[in-house]
Amino acid sequence: MKASAFVYPWDVNGDPQAPARIAALGVRQATLASAYHSTRALTPRHPRHRVVTAAYAAALYPPGEHWEGRELRPHPAGDWAPGDAFGEAAAALGDAGLEVHTWVVLAHSSRLGAEHPDTSVVNAYGDRYPWAPCIAQPATRAYLVDLAAEAAVRPGAAGTELESLGWYGLAHLHAHDKTGGVALGDAGQYLMSLCFCAACRAGYGEQGLDADALAAAVRQALEPVWRGAPDDGGWAGVEKLLGQDTATATRAWRDATARSLQEQAVAAVRAAAPEGFQVLLHADPVTHHTGANAGVDPAHVLSVADGVVVPCTGGPGLLAPFAERGADAVLAANLTIVSGMGGSPATLAADASRARDLGATELRLYHAGLASDADLDAVREALGG
């Protein structure tokens, strides 16, 4: 199977050995970040630094002049990725024989929430999630669609992978995070991720729900969860806590909102891209799930995009719903190869085989820049690099 390694521009720029080292893993492609959220990352082999702190969500290239005068716009990166960091890294990776695809993070930006609080998801208690732009708001949607087109279609790129193209909710690896004291479970996560901004309140009204009554119902439903009640799991747990009709109405609003955004963003990318440009979404086949791997309906998303990138580090089971509906689609199994982050590069060959049996056509390896030398050695052995 074709394999691609995720990489940041700062893993490559300033390290003349990096492109050849990545190519020697046995991968044919590099999925290179072009718009990315804030992070702190090790660079264990870089000749000039060991830790990169990306202070805020940024474009890793110079944003276009068409953003001037717009209230919501991407910010260029600071000294962690100055200038056209993406373009510099893409050229170096291309010279090493690698096909380059962009890696674009969309509805996940703490800077956007800090500068424009009204864009954020608001939960049933009135708490804002500054890392999570509400994808129902027209101005936010326009920003995300235009960012998708610009960040995806960069010079030197043959395709793109769009991450966080859907609802983001409570789950978020925040700095000094201290939210694990109560096990919310799948149902609790959904209820704590429901948004009550003005746009979502109006959307619930379109589904026959009173937003104030819904927020009160969510708070009441969560009381047993805060007291330690066990999670019934899955959508059935949401229906038990909130009631079937009410739960279904919330999901109808959220599913339709996410689907239309995905359609608009992919259409914008295709309009900006040359013929043959590949468009994939990072996706979870359960529509009510939130986060970097947006919850999607497999049949719908495969009618819109060329395929999906599916999290498989915990097992390849999430591939099956996509494989049942996408005979010609790209189904990329995303496997973590960083042992210190829960990955298992030593079992990569076996994990890839299991993913192939469930329909995977390609592999994604997270993450070539973060992995240790021993991890990379294991990848080379597994891929025959």
Q: What mean pLDDT comes out for the span 275-280?
A: 98
Task: List the structure tokens of 93.
Answer: 């990776």
For the chain, domain boundaries: 2-123+130-179+256-383
pLDDT bucket at 351, cuts 50 / 70 / 90: very high
pLDDT bucket at 229, cuts 50 / 70 / 90: confident
The answer on pLDDT for 364 being more than 70 is: yes
User: What pLDDT does 49 receive?
Assistant: 98
User: What pLDDT does 111 receive?
Assistant: 96
Task: List the structure tokens of 384.
Answer: 């025959």
pLDDT bucket at 268, cuts 50 / 70 / 90: very high
User: What pLDDT does 326 receive?
Assistant: 66
Strand ranges, E, within the chain = 2-7, 29-36, 39-42, 51-54, 58-59, 99-105, 120-122, 128-133, 157-163, 278-284, 294-295, 307-311, 330-336, 362-366
User: Distance (Å, rounded) from C-alpha 258 to C-alpha 363?
Assistant: 26
Omega within 30 of 0 (cis) for the link into 367: yes
Task: List the structure tokens of 177.
Answer: 């995070």
- DSSP conformation letters of 276-292: T-EEEEEEES-TT--SS
Report the run of H or E that residue 321 belongs to, with start and end: helix 319-323
pLDDT for 26-67, tens place per residue? Answer: 999 999 999 999 999 999 999 999 999 999 999 999 999 999
One-letter amino acid at 330 equals V
User: Distance (Å, rounded) from C-alpha 250 to C-alpha 237?
Assistant: 14
The answer on pLDDT for 72 being more than 90 is: yes
**Residues 6+ positions from 86 with CB-CB distance below 8 Å:** 9, 32, 33, 34, 60, 61, 102, 154
- 3-state class (DSSP) for residue 126: coil
Report the run of H or E that residue 145 belongs to, with start and end: helix 138-152
CA angle 361, 363, 365 (to 5 degrees): 170
Helices (H), 153-184: none
Residues 14, 47 contacting (CB under 8 angstroms): yes
User: What pLDDT does 233 receive?
Assistant: 80
Main-chain dihedrals φ then ψ at residue 98, nearest 5 degrees: -95, 140
The answer on pLDDT for 173 being more than 80 is: no
What CATH number has the domain spanning 2-123+130-179+256-383? 3.20.20.80
Q: What mean pLDDT comes out for the span 133-153?
A: 98
pLDDT bucket at 129, cuts 50 / 70 / 90: very high
The answer on pLDDT for 178 being more than 80 is: no
DSSP 3-state percent helix, strand, coil across the chain (nearest 5): 40, 20, 40
User: What pLDDT does 254 receive?
Assistant: 98
Task: List the structure tokens of 170.
Answer: 């409570």
Main-chain dihedrals φ then ψ at residue 5, nearest 5 degrees: -105, 135
User: Distance (Å, rounded) from C-alpha 94 to C-alpha 312?
Assistant: 27
User: pLDDT exceeding 90 applies to what percent of the chain?
Assistant: 93
pLDDT for 325-348, tens place per residue? Answer: 867 899 999 999 999 999 999 999
Residues 376, 44 contacting (CB under 8 angstroms): no
Closest CA to 282 of 192, 177, 364, 171: 364
- pTM attached to this predicted model: 0.97
Residue 191 CA, chain-centre distance (Å), reads 20
276 φ/ψ sector (left φ>0, alpha ψ -120 to 50, else beta): left
User: What pLDDT does 77 receive?
Assistant: 98
The more confident residue out of 219 and 325 is 219
Q: What is the mean pLDDT of the chain?
A: 96
User: Distance (Å, rounded) from C-alpha 100 to C-alpha 117?
Assistant: 35
CA angle 56, 63, 280 (to 5 degrees): 80
User: What pLDDT does 379 receive?
Assistant: 98
User: Distance (Å, rounded) from C-alpha 85 to C-alpha 321?
Assistant: 37
The answer on pLDDT for 172 being more than 90 is: no
Residue 134 neighbours by CB distance under 10 Å = 25
pLDDT for 83-127, tens place per residue? Answer: 999 999 999 999 999 999 999 999 999 999 999 999 999 999 999
Task: List the structure tokens of 34.
Answer: 């072009």
pLDDT bucket at 259, cuts 50 / 70 / 90: very high
